């Protein structure tokens, strides 16, 4: 029982850390985007270019943030330790079924030879 409680605690702690890092990434994204916009618009960084470089930088950063969000809230939520255990148990059961089928076919061949 203690092992299960400890695993639940570790899972909760890991999920909390993932969410904490995601929130930090979001705040960093907002501040960084604001800095890029101000640097481009008011301080004249990148004036020689014809394209609005800060929009490209913010868009790429937003895409990376969306990938991070998907990993934390979608992928890790459904493919956690419980899911891994279920998949392992399913694969082990399939292997055991296959082994038992092979053993029975070998036994049948041995019986037919005798």
What's residue 5's pLDDT? 83
Nearest alpha-carbon partner for 37 in 15, 54, 20, 49: 54
The Cα 14–Cα 16 span in angstroms is 5
List the chain pLDDT tens, one digit each, 114 residues: 687 788 888 888 988 999 999 999 999 999 999 998 888 878 777 676 666 788 888 999 999 999 999 999 888 777 777 778 888 889 999 999 999 998 888 888 888 776
pTM beyond cutoff 0.75: no
CA distances from 96 to 38, 85, 103, 107 (A): 63, 16, 10, 16
Q: Domain ranges in the chain?
A: 1-43+52-113
Burial class (CB in 10 A: 0-12, 13-18, 19+), 103: exposed
What's residue 74's pLDDT? 86
What's residue 67's pLDDT? 95
In degrees and rounded to multiples of 5, residue 99 shows phi and psi of -60, -45
């Amino acid at each position: 029982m203690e092992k299960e409680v400890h695993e639940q605690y570790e899972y909760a702690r890991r999920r909390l850390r993932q969410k904490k890092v995601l929130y930090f990434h979001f705040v960093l994204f907002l501040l960084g985007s604001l800095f890029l916009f101000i640097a481009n618009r008011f301080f004249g960084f990148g004036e020689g270019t014809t394209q609005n470089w800060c929009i490209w930088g913010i868009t790429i950063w937003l895409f990376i943030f969306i990938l991070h969000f998907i990993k934390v809230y979608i992928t890790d939520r459904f493919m956690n330790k419980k899911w891994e255990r279920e998949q392992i148990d399913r694969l082990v059961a399939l292997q055991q079924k296959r082994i038992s089928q092979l053993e029975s076919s070998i036994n049948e061949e041995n019986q037919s030879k005798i």
